[in-house]
Amino acid sequence: SKKLLRNIRLDWKSEVPRVKNKLKGKKKKKKNNKMGNQPNGNGSSSVIRGRFSDYYVSGDRIGSGTFAVVKKCYRKSEPSQAFAVKIIDKRHLTPRELVGLKYEIKILQTMEHPSVIKAVDVFEDKKKVKIVLELCEGGDLFDQMLKMKDKRVEEDKAAWITCKLARALKYLHEHYVVHRDLKPENILFTKDGKIKITDFGLAHYLKLPAAFHSMHTCCGTPHYVAPEVLGSEEYGIEVDFWSLG
């Protein structure tokens, strides 16, 4: 929408000079690369096994997949605040997909970055898993590109978006998380134009301490996947930056 694009424009205009000055005047500081607990081999994680009764779900469907649907929901104690709830029917998932789901939940619960979507609550019963997420009403980057002139992003806006995503990827990699499916459809905008990376269904937690080139699973989306992912050799965190490019 025009309002969203105005918000994006205002945000990048104020952000780009600050980033340039920071890059020129400061040296990068080493960060303490600590990571929270990972799901173990049987896929266990900090999923909350409780009732979903604190929320009510509206009939609005935001999105859907093979075994999941995303709807708008509200917390009963705070009806003015809207969220998104991803409802997964785990009865149709393979054991490997269940482990992947647990990894996704762990990432959504533990990552704390302004450009990474956050899980508010997670509930599980015998049939379904419900992940309550921040609501991004601005749509995804792909949809926003279609609304722009000539269906392309202007250079200065693209620089601002790239800067935000690069920072988010740096944070994820410092916490040993590789997304592996970065694409315009997985980059969401909030109502006020903030960027959120979403969909960690193919993400991978790296094992410590030196496993940055230990992945070998062929996954991702054809137009955005790095060449080494399609080969037979192991690959590393660089595949996310290929997708970003």
User: Which residues are tagged catalytic?
Assistant: 181
Give every CB contact of residue 245 below 8 A, 6+ residues apart in sequence.
none
Measured from the Cβ of residue 43, the count of other Cβ atoms closer than 10 Å reads 18
Burial label, 207 (beta-carbon count in 10 A; 0-12, 13-18, 19+): exposed
206 near 226, Cβ under 8 Å? no
Q: Is 127 helix (H, G, I), strand (E, B) or coil?
A: coil
Give every CB contact of residue 178 below 8 A, 6+ residues apart in sequence.
172, 203, 204, 206, 215, 236, 237, 239, 240
Strands 119-124 and 68-75: unpaired
- Radius of gyration of the chain from Cα atoms? 19
Strand segments, DSSP code E, in 23-138 are 55-64, 68-75, 78-89, 119-124, 128-133
- The counts of H helices and E strands in the chain are 6, 9
Give the separation between CA 12 and CA 164, rounded to whole angstroms.
10
* 149 carries a ligand binding annotation: no
Binding-site residue ranges = 86
Binding-site residue ranges for ATP = 86
